[in-house]
Amino acid sequence: MSYHNPVLLKKSVDDLVTNPDGIYVDVTFGGGGHSREILKRLSDKGKLFSFDQDLDALENTIEDERFTLINQNFRFLENSLLIYGITAVDGILADLGVSSHQFDEAERGFSTRSNAPLDMRMNVMQSLDAKKVINDYEEEHLADIFYHYGELREARKLAREIVHHRKTKAIETTEELKKLFSYIPPHKQNKFFAQVFQAVRIEVNQELEVLKEMLLQSYKILKPGGRLVVISYHSLEDRLVKRFLKNGMFEGEPKRDIYGNYDKAFELLQTKATVPDEAEIEENSRARSAKLRTGIKL
């Protein structure tokens, strides 16, 4: 399978691996780029467990006795590792979002550039797909998805257009969905359709809920001093990661003592997110929106 170069490869693995004899987890294996780099940093005693729910990723498995590839969604991180007797690890890496391979496979329906069936499933074995979201969800539910996951101000109008159209004919392809909004000015279409597709994709794959579950489990299984390295690609993901690394929560405020202090979950390796340089963005356009954050478990 053809996968593009992983984003922020050297920086992310530099942040992650501090003990060559340690146990590490790559929860987003994809083309295996990050995993291969991690293995280069490990001794014969080190171990790497990688996760990917996409069956295509299994074709990239690495023949190395230190390596185990687990065909699971990373929301099952803790229990999956327990099967192998692993209860504590030295570092966890997550490169979030859709892989370049999934975007390039037109029939998967992730890309706004290709006409394909409405699918967008990262795990092709699951029943919920984009077609069901677009054709079966109530108008109010659709509006909420576009507003919260796509950050689209005209969410209610979009939902109304979809519900009106599907009364006479089901919406089955990405092109049919896009045609409903042909009134959007050409100079705004790229961003608009990217937001629409993002919203539907997040709903299909429950991406934000899955991310929350993974982050909470990561904190539980990281050893003190262990590192959590996360690369995110849109503000919804990054906001969750940033808040979790700051105070171990996704919303609300932590309890403070009489001096205003609270127990921190992590120490930040860098106070600001690391972003790719211009050379990497030119080589890989997907890197343009990437933000890397690293926390050290206290």
Cβ neighbours around 258 below 10 Å, total: 5
Q: Tokens 């993974």 belong to which residue?
A: 214
Q: Binding residue per annotation — 102?
A: yes
Report the candidate in 14, 62, 61 with the shortest Cα–Cα distance to residue 38: 14
**34 annotated ligand-binding residue:** yes
Does the annotation flag 33 for ligand binding?
yes
Q: Give SS3 for 192.
A: helix
Distance in angstroms (rounded) separating the CA atoms of residues 162 and 291: 33
15 in Cβ contact with 229 (< 8 Å): yes
Question: Is the separation of the CB atoms in 38 and 93 below 8 Å?
Answer: yes
User: CA-CA distance, 95 to 33, in Å (whole number)?
Assistant: 11
Cα–Cα distance measured from residue 210 to residue 177, given in angstroms and rounded to the nearest whole number: 26
Degrees, nearest 5: CA angle 2-55-175: 70
> In this structure, what token pair is assigned to residue 56?
């295509």
- The annotation status of 252 as a binding-site residue, yes or no, is no
What's the token pair of residue 297?
């478990």
3-state secondary structure at position 268: strand
* Phi, psi dihedrals of residue 294, rounded to the nearest 5°: -130, 130
The answer to whether residues 54 and 123 touch, using CB atoms and an 8 Å cutoff, is yes
CA dihedral of residues 30, 34, 36, 39 (deg, nearest 10): -130
Residue ranges for the known binding site for S-adenosyl-L-methionine are 32-34, 52, 74, 95, 102
Residue ranges for the known binding site are 32-34, 52, 74, 95, 102
